[in-house]
Structure 1
Amino acid sequence: AYRVPGNLRDEVLSYLRERELVTSVYLERMLDVRLGRNGKGKGEGVSVEAVAYIVDRRHEQYAGALDADHAARIVRGAVGQSGRNEDYVLSTLEHLEALGIRDHWLEEVGRQVSPS
């Protein structure tokens, strides 16, 4: 979670909506979340309200049923407004690993698109 100063709330929400709601594959939700480890011990276990973007599994662009090989073929060479899709997948895996979260399907996609 990212803490946003109140005076920047509208600006940040506008940015996030422009970035995440382009194709309507995500649904915006306000959720109560509990903060975890941040390396500083601050706020751990505290509940806060957060904006989250949840995939709409009924949306035609939802790719949850793809096998890892097919997903890797789509990701390889694709570029979005925020950069290369390979970089996004590998960065997501790094962040999940730092949080102690395993996603075997995404790990397989990452192996297939990793340059090394």
Structure 2
Amino acid sequence: MARNKRQMRLSPRHVAYLQPEIVSEDLPPPPEGMHQASEADHRATIAKFFGDADPSDETWIFAYGSLIWKPACDYVEIRTGLLHGWHRAFCLGWNNRFRGSEENPGLMLALDRGGACKGALYRLPPGRRDECLIKLFEREMSWLPSAFPPRMVTVRSGERKINALTFCIDRNSGRYISGLSEAEIADVLAKAVGSRGSMADYLFATVEHLEQMGLHDPHLWRLQNLVAERIEAVYETDREV
């Protein structure tokens, strides 16, 4: 892994200011119009993408956000990769349960059409495809229908082209957020806190791990600076930064 050569402005000090009142990993009831996914639902999704393919064949996941720093399942290999045609964006809203509230809802990362995205490729253990994918879907698609359903994409990693499963925003889902400036996104990320932590923590962990892997995202880098600036303005007005 490449060393982090850039010094982030956003730091654990900033994140520490934004702590949830109640920490919980419990899944609340699904919003109106959605239902909690079952194992049968997840197995149907596996069948849709993999059909009669041998479970011991190579199965790859492309991670662009929290899966980079908190994988949902076991893996046996990790590579960096470049995905064309999709870009990483804070376009999944509004999160008022896990990393946001009714007063200050959060915005989550998803892949949106256009551009390109550098991320991590995880290869699942041979013969454990279904077990690992069910764990992944339980985390990423706990409620259905999903606003960012799975999709097969082709990722370039060195000389290889790898087919991988990832999650892309459904622009027709009703949860697609677009048109916000970086300043407006930073305003959201600097305030939102939910039962699983803050959006500042989510952004910090994502940028930190991307940098450690040698993957620089200029948009996220600017956002981390803007978010730190906003947190300092609220919590550190009486100290030198």
Change (3 A) 1:47 1:54: same
2:180 maps to amino acid: L
> Which protein is richer in helix relative to its size?
1
Question: Does the 8 Å contact 1:28/1:51 carry over to 2?
Answer: yes
TM-score by length of 1: 0.68
Instruction: Write the distance in 1 (CA, Å) between the matches of 2:140 and 2:152.
Output: 14
Aligned residue in 2 for 1:64: 178
Over aligned residues, Cα RMSD in angstroms?
A: 2.6
Instruction: Write the distance in 2 (CA, Å) between the matches of 1:25 and 1:80.
Output: 20
Question: Does residue 221 of structure 2 align to residue 85 of structure 1?
Answer: no
Aligned residue in 2 for 1:14: 134
Change (3 A) 1:68 1:80: farther
Instruction: Write the distance in 2 (CA, Å) between the matches of 1:30 and 1:74.
Output: 30
Instruction: Write the distance in 2 (CA, Å) between the matches of 1:80 and 1:28.
Output: 25
Instruction: Write the distance in 2 (CA, Å) between the matches of 1:32 and 1:80.
Output: 35
> Where does structure 2 lack aligned partners over 5 or more consecutive residues?
1-120, 233-241
Residue of structure 2 aligned with 1:74, choices 169, 188, 199: 188
1:48 maps to amino acid: I
Instruction: Write the distance in 2 (CA, Å) between the matches of 1:108 and 1:59.
Output: 28
- Residue 111 (structure 1) shift: 2.2
Aligned residue in 2 for 1:39: none
Instruction: Write the distance in 2 (CA, Å) between the matches of 1:57 and 1:93.
Output: 25
Aligned residue in 2 for 1:38: none
| Number of equivalenced pairs | 105
Question: Does residue 196 of structure 2 align to residue 99 of structure 1?
Answer: no
Of all paired residues, the percent bearing the same amino acid is 29
Question: Does residue 152 of structure 2 align to residue 30 of structure 1?
Answer: yes
Question: Does the 8 Å contact 1:27/1:54 carry over to 2?
Answer: yes
Greater C-alpha Rg: 2
Q: Secondary structure at the match of 1:5?
A: coil
Instruction: Write the distance in 2 (CA, Å) between the matches of 1:63 and 1:96.
Output: 26
TM-score by length of 2: 0.37
Instruction: Write the distance in 2 (CA, Å) between the matches of 1:12 and 1:65.
Output: 35
